[in-house]
């Protein structure tokens, strides 16, 4: 099969979403539980600085630090940036300023959002205070945002705090979601297009002449590009297999009874085995060398499974390189 | 660190950097660059003593995405190989270290990134402190803008000066055929004030590769090797409220350790994706007006994630190869607001 013009680029949405469950150390636990109780805690370094938000180890010396103090809910902006187009997940849905705020009593700054009418209302050095979230759970988002405040700096030295609260939070669940538009590239696009015509297409390496299925655009042995398309199959040989005894926990495979066989299949003309389910034969009669063919279901975008062709088994020498 | 063994960059290649490369998979994008550096030296994969790459699964949205890219190397018979989930500059550092041990005499270093499938501004939030910062989703431009405002407040720069950095970078990039953004580029509207579109790097896809060689191997592979006289990297606290955003002590310390300050440099390739970060780096590296900064256009002209830092080292080396430079400093950064910094000194043999 000669090279043909590249088909249109395929695209599909890909969403990566995962709730990360993270445990908290003693200092983080006290800080986040404190936010729930509208109390802001910092931690003292051995050289006398107060870090807010507090961390478990001194960022300069790496010493373990555990001495907590309570600081004010008011502070001073040390730098800012006007964000006129809030993005998903950010603290406010209306235009706001990102700010670093040095809370009264702290020596370091906390990153958060400032609710202000516009950039002209924000400057470095301005006084702000915490606006607490109505529902607080023990998370950084218990601070809804900061708001402008016209009071002077609280000059009191921060008082030591035991960091003890009823029902402290010991972990957070951080939801993370990223959206992608996936494009499989030239070679894999061609493979997927061919599948839509119920054909399986590989690519031949110009150097070692091996035919790779599915093609990825490069020969992993020679490190050169592949372009010559070769139709393979549709029949093939089982090179190895396994028996699955655990039912899959997703709707797509719900109808598949266990035990079933999952096999590596070397399609005729291919130098790389792909894998698929074997059906149409009792699971304990599947064997290496069994000749199989694809079974397509209506609307299926790839073979649903492979079944025996009834041909004599292939000789081991014909597929041993692919096991 | 100073070398116990002379190691040089002997070849450098990079793709054209594009807003989108939908028609190519990562390996399809990367492979021509690998072939380019191998052809430049006459080496085959089997001649390479060590291979090291840099990339990020978060850009691809897939776990172990770098394994696919290895197909482009031709890793058979099995090769000595490693990968860092960082910019390729750090892969180069690992390879340089390997050559220092004497375990290998040549190394292939490559890195690549496709920002186009996702939203890189949001993707980069996932590298932040997961307890106190990431839940607020402060994007990469927002964090850079906080740094820019701190510099303006400190009187270190202003918006017209930042526009000047952008203008110079893209004007210089007109001579760089691989650049994504060159020539006359408008300052644009604010993205996150005080940073305008012109202060921000283009979002794009690209790849780069270099070959390192030790001692006499280098002289045999390249007419004028770019010797790495020193290389070091340092990191600052991840909490940006703990740091002085107007300075980069980690860059300065890495530069000291690499020997940057011992003799003047004539060229600097700085990895400053935002105009304001060039201001910080010039100060930390004590670069005078007599130093040519980012003749390639820098990351403001092309910023393929995970490759832009390696490209800084490659661009500096290529100028030495061409005889356009004798002593250069190359810099790579990672993390928010220049949190991590790698500095290398490259020299050509005296002429």
pLDDT above 80 (res A251): no
DSSP state of B263: S
Residue-averaged pLDDT of chain B: 97
pLDDT score of B264: 97
- How many angstroms away from the CA of A304 is the closest CA of chain B? 25
Q: Is the minimum CB–CB distance between B323 and chain A shorter than 8 Å?
A: no
Q: Is A99 helix (H, G, I), strand (E, B) or coil?
A: strand
CA-to-CA separations, A82 to A86, A121, A238, B49, B149, in angstroms, rounded? 10, 10, 62, 50, 10
pLDDT exceeds 80 at position A65: yes
B175/A contact by beta carbon, under 8 A: no
Q: How many angstroms away from the CA of B305 is the closest CA of chain A?
A: 16
Cβ-defined contact of A140 to B149 (cutoff 8 Å): no
Closest-CA distance, B65 to chain A, in angstroms, reads: 12
Q: How confident is the model at residue B91 (pLDDT cuts 50, 70, 90)?
A: very high
How much of chain A, in percent, has pLDDT values that exceed 90? 88
- The neighbour count for residue B216, using CB atoms within 10 Å, is 10
Tell whether B240 is within 8 A of chain A (Cβ).
yes
Closest by CA position to A295, among listed A310, A314, A276: A276
> For testing the chain B interface, which of A5, A25, A30, A98 should be mutated: the one with the most B CBs within 10 Å?
A98
- Give yes or no for a contact between A40 and A72, defined as CB atoms under 8 angstroms apart: yes
**What does the pLDDT average to over B202-228?**
97
Given an 8 Å threshold on Cβ–Cβ distance, is A81 in contact with B34? Answer: no
pLDDT confidence of residue A1: 46
pLDDT in tens, A175-230: 889 999 999 999 999 999 999 999 999 999 999 999 999 999 999 999 999 999 99
Average pLDDT, chain A: 94
Of all residues in chain A, the one with the smallest CA distance to B249 is A60
Instruction: Supply φ then ψ for residue B94, to 5 degrees.
Output: -65, -40
Give me the total of CB pairs closer than 8 Å, taking one residue from chain A and one from chain B: 190
What confidence score (pLDDT) does residue A198 get? Answer: 95
Which of these, A175, A138, A158, lies nearest to A31 by C-alpha position? A138
For B131, the closest of A90, A100, A140 (CB atoms) is A140
Minimum-distance CB partner of B135 among A100, A141, A224: A141
Give the distance from residue A131's alpha carbon to the nearest chain B alpha carbon, in angstroms: 15
What residues in A contact B34, CB-CB < 8 Å? 223
Q: Given CB atoms, is B118 within the 8 Å cutoff of chain A?
A: yes
- Of chain B, the percentage scoring pLDDT greater than 70 comes to 100
Residue A180's closest chain B neighbor by CA?
Answer: B118
* Token pair belonging to B184: 């006359």
Q: Is the pLDDT of residue A161 over 70?
A: yes
Is B64 in the A-facing interface, judged by CB distances under 8 Å? no
Is-contact B343 B256, C-beta < 8 A?
A: no
A252 vs chain B: nearest CA distance in angstroms? 22
Tokens 């012109």 found at? B198
Q: Is the pLDDT of residue A2 over 60?
A: no
Chain A residues closer than 8 Å to B57 by CB: none
Please state, in angstroms and rounded to a whole number, the distance separating the CA atoms of residues B28 and B114.
Answer: 12
Q: Which residue of B has its CA nearest to A189?
A: B23
Average pLDDT of the segment spanning A292-309: 95
Asked if the C-beta of B163 comes within 8 angstroms of chain A's C-beta atoms, the answer is: no
* Partner residue opposite B25 with nearest CB, options A22, A24, A217: A217
d(CA A281, CA A283): 6
Q: How close B31 comes to chain A (CA, Å)?
A: 7
The stretch A131-152 carries a mean pLDDT of 97
Q: B146 touching A, CB under 8 A?
A: yes
CA distances (Å), origin A15, targets B26, B58, B63, B119, B351: 19, 12, 13, 12, 56
Residue B298 contacts by C-beta under 8 Å, 6 or more apart in sequence?
B169, B173, B269, B270, B271, B272, B278, B312
- Residue B31 touches chain A, beta carbons under 8 Å: yes
B113/B117 Cα distance (integer angstroms): 10
pLDDT of residue A247: 86
d(CA B134, CA B131): 7
Distance from CA of A189 to the nearest CA of B (A): 9
pLDDT digits (tens, 9 = 90+) for B266-295: 999 999 999 999 999 999 999 999 999 999
Question: Distance between CA B283 and CA B252 in Å, rounded?
Answer: 9
Lowest-confidence region among A145-159, B86-100, B199-213, B332-346: A145-159
Contact A180 B122 (CB under 8 A): no
At residue B283, φ and ψ (nearest 5 deg) are -65, -45
Helix H segments across B138-181?
140-153, 159-172
Measured between CB atoms, which of B26, B34, B74 is closest to A221?
Answer: B74
Chain A contacts of B123, Cβ < 8 Å? Answer: 178
**pLDDT attached to residue B225:** 98
pLDDT at position A254: 73
Is 70 exceeded by the pLDDT of residue B171? Answer: yes
Contact B117 A108 (CB under 8 A): no
A91-95 long-range contacts, Cβ below 8 Å, gap at least 24?
A: A91/A141, A91/A144, A91/A145, A91/B136, A92/A145
Find all residues with CB under 8 Å of B209, minimum gap 6, and list them: B11, B12, B13, B14, B30, B33, B34, B36, B37, B108, B109, B110, B111
Q: What confidence score (pLDDT) does residue A5 get?
A: 59
The mean pLDDT value for B227-256 works out to: 97
Would you call B324 an interface residue with chain A, using a CB distance cutoff of 8 Å?
no
Q: Is the dihedral of CA A139, A142, A148, A153 positive or negative?
A: negative
Q: What is the pLDDT of residue B17?
A: 98
Contact (CB<8Å) B137/A98: no
Q: Which residue of A has its CA nearest to B71?
A: A220
CB contact under 8 A, B122 and A225: no
pTM attached to this predicted model = 0.95
Of B61, B131, B193, the CB nearest to A22: B131
For the cut 60, the answer to whether the pLDDT of residue A6 exceeds it is: no
Distance, in Å, from the CA atom of B288 to the CA atom of B304, rounded to the nearest integer, reads 28
């Amino acid at each position: 099969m000669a090279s043909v013009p590249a088909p249109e680029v395929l695209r599909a949405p890909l969403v990566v979403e995962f709730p990360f469950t993270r445990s908290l150390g003693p200092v983080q636990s006290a800080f986040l539980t404190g936010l729930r109780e509208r109390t802001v805690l910092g931690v003292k370094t051995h050289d006398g600085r107060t870090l807010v938000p507090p961390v478990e180890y001194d960022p300069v010396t790496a010493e373990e630090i555990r001495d907590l103090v309570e600081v004010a809910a008011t502070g001073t902006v040390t730098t800012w940036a006007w964000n006129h187009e809030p993005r998903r997940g950010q603290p406010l849905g209306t235009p706001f300023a990102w700010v670093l705020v040095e809370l009264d009593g702290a020596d370091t700054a906390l990153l958060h959002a400032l609710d202000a009418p516009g950039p002209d209302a924000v400057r470095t050095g301005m006084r702000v205070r915490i606006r607490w979230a109505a529902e607080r759970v023990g998370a950084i988002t218990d601070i809804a945002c900061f708001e402008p405040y016209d009071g002077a700096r609280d000059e009191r030295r921060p008082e030591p705090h035991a960091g003890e609260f009823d029902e402290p939070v010991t972990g957070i669940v951080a939801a993370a979601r990223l959206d992608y538009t996936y494009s499989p590239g030239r070679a894999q696009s061609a493979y997927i297009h061919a599948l839509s015509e119920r054909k399986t297409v590989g690519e031949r390496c110009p150097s070692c002449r091996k035919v790779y299925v599915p093609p990825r655009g490069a020969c992993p042995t020679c490190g050169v590009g592949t372009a010559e398309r070769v139709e393979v199959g549709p029949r093939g040989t089982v090179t190895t297999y396994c028996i699955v005894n655990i039912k899959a926990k997703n709707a797509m495979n719900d109808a598949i009874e266990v035990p079933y066989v999952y096999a590596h299949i070397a399609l005729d003309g291919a130098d790389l085995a792909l894998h698929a389910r074997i059906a149409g034969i009792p699971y304990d009669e599947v064997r290496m060398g069994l000749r199989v063919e694809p079974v397509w279901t209506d609307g299926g975008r790839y073979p649903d499974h492979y079944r025996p062709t009834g041909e004599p088994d292939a000789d081991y020498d014909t597929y041993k390189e692919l096991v | 660190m100073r070398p116990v063994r002379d190691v040089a960059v002997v070849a450098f290649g990079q793709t054209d950097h594009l807003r989108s490369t939908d028609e190519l998979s990562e390996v399809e994008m990367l492979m021509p660059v690998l072939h380019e550096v191998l052809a430049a030296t006459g080496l085959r994969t089997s001649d390479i003593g060590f291979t090291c790459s840099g990339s990020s699964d978060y850009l691809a949205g897939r776990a172990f995405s770098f394994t696919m890219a290895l197909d482009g190397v031709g890793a058979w018979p099995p090769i000595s190989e490693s990968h860092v989930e960082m910019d390729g500059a750090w892969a180069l550092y690992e390879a340089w270290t390997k050559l220092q041990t004497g375990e290998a005499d040549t190394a292939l270093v490559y890195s690549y990134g496709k920002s186009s499938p996702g939203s890189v501004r949001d993707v980069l939030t996932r590298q932040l402190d997961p307890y106190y910062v990431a839940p607020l989703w402060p994007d990469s431009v927002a964090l850079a803008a906080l740094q820019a405002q701190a510099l303006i407040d400190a009187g270190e720069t202003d918006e017209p000066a930042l526009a000047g950095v952008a203008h110079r970078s893209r004007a210089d990039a007109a001579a760089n055929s691989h650049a994504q953004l060159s020539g006359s580029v408008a300052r644009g509207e604010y993205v996150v004030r005080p940073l305008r579109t012109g202060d921000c790097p283009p979002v794009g896809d690209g790849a780069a590769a270099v070959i390192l060689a030790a001692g006499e191997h280098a002289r045999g592979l390249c007419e004028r090797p770019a010797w790495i006289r020193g290389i070091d990297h340092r990191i600052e606290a991840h909490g940006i409220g703990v740091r002085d955003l107007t300075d980069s002590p980690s860059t300065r310390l890495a530069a000291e350790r690499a020997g940057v300050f011992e003799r003047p440099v004539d060229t600097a390739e700085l990895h400053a994706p935002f105009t304001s970060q060039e201001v910080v780096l010039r100060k930390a590296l004590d670069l005078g007006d007599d130093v040519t900064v980012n003749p390639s256009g820098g990351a403001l002209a092309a910023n393929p994630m995970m490759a832009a830092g390696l490209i800084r080292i490659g661009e500096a080396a290529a100028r030495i190869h061409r005889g356009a430079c004798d002593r250069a400093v190359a810099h790579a950064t990672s993390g928010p607001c220049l949190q991590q910094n790698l500095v290398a000194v490259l020299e050509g043999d005296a002429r």
